[in-house]
Amino acid sequence: MYRILNAKELTSNIYLMDVEAPRIAKSCLPGQFIIAKLDEVGERIPLTICDYNREAGTITIVFQVIGASTEKMSALKEGDSFRDFTGPLGMASEFVNEDISVLKNKKILFVAGGVGTAPVYPQVKWLRENGVSCDVIVGAKNKELLILENEMKAVAGNLYITTDDGSYGFKGMVTEQIKELVNNQGNKYDVCIAIGPMIMMKFVCLLTKELGIKTIVSLNPVMVDGTGMCGACRVSVGGEIKFACVDGPEFDGHLVDFDEAMKRQQMYKSEEGRALLRLREGDTHKGHKGKGCGGNN
């Protein structure tokens, strides 16, 4: 059992929990995820790691209520436990393996949308701890839906807040803020890491391709089972079939077929849609048989 040490609602339908999981906390890296199960018969829920404390042996997760399982999760309180809490899974962010001296000479931009702020935070924090400063754009529909602002402010070199309705910070989409920084303020970026809703990542990538900025996206929104065996996170990247939970979750955003991925997301919500995908895709419907989830199982 994995005890919950802290549980709170960050904003409407978005929750944060600190979970006692010392083995995962000891070995996890930015960009990886865990799979949580409430009980023996519960659904497997893949969640990107928002933060970790190796000394305290804790993992922080942030999730949004989108179905029955996350609704049940939101009712858990301090002192309750998860039946299973498995990880770290997936591949770590690519910069973790880069030379720090090289990273320090790069101009890095992170773009976080909604709950995507959670997986962006540990990456920015890791870079800060290694002496690398970066700019961060955090976008939300309105001020009330903004999360982790103070935490992000503590680790970002420059933090830019955007809201769709202009209730806080810059008024407009994150893409408008990117244009402001690059076109109007003359900022030059070597790489952009964008994490958020699929539609946001799509339009960020369209813009950064036009601006000539290498862009990495995290496809954690398409993961369901987290093992590569359910077929939900099957995506086309540069014309090749990939599975977000096994091969990612991070990919070159300019190579991802977002339209196909978003259409697939919608189809996967119904049993009829899942059956049609299985029929159409045949042997390629599921991920790497026998390979499991990647990362440190």
SS3 121: helix
Domains 2-86 and 100-218 share a fold: no
235: amino acid identity, one letter: V
pLDDT in tens for each of the 297 residues of the chain? 999 999 999 998 999 999 999 999 999 999 999 999 998 888 888 899 999 999 999 999 999 998 888 999 999 999 999 999 999 988 899 899 999 999 999 999 999 999 999 999 999 999 999 999 999 999 999 999 999 999 999 999 999 999 999 999 999 999 999 999 999 999 999 999 999 999 999 999 999 999 999 999 998 766 665 555 566 677 889 999 888 877 878 999 999 999 988 887 665 555 555 555 555 556 666 555 434 333 333
The encoded tokens of residue 127 equal 């870079």
The encoded tokens of residue 244 equal 């977000």
Nearest partner of 48 among 83, 87, 12, 1, judged by Cα: 87
Give the integer Cα–Cα distance in Å for 232 and 269: 10
Domain 2-86 has CATH 2.40.30.10: yes
* 137, 156 Cβ separation under 8 angstroms: no
Residue 148: in which H helix or E strand, if any?
A: none
Q: What is the CATH number of domain 100-218?
A: 3.40.50.80
Give the integer Cα–Cα distance in Å for 237 and 217: 11
Domain residue ranges of the chain, discontinuous segments joined by +:
2-86, 100-218, 221-286
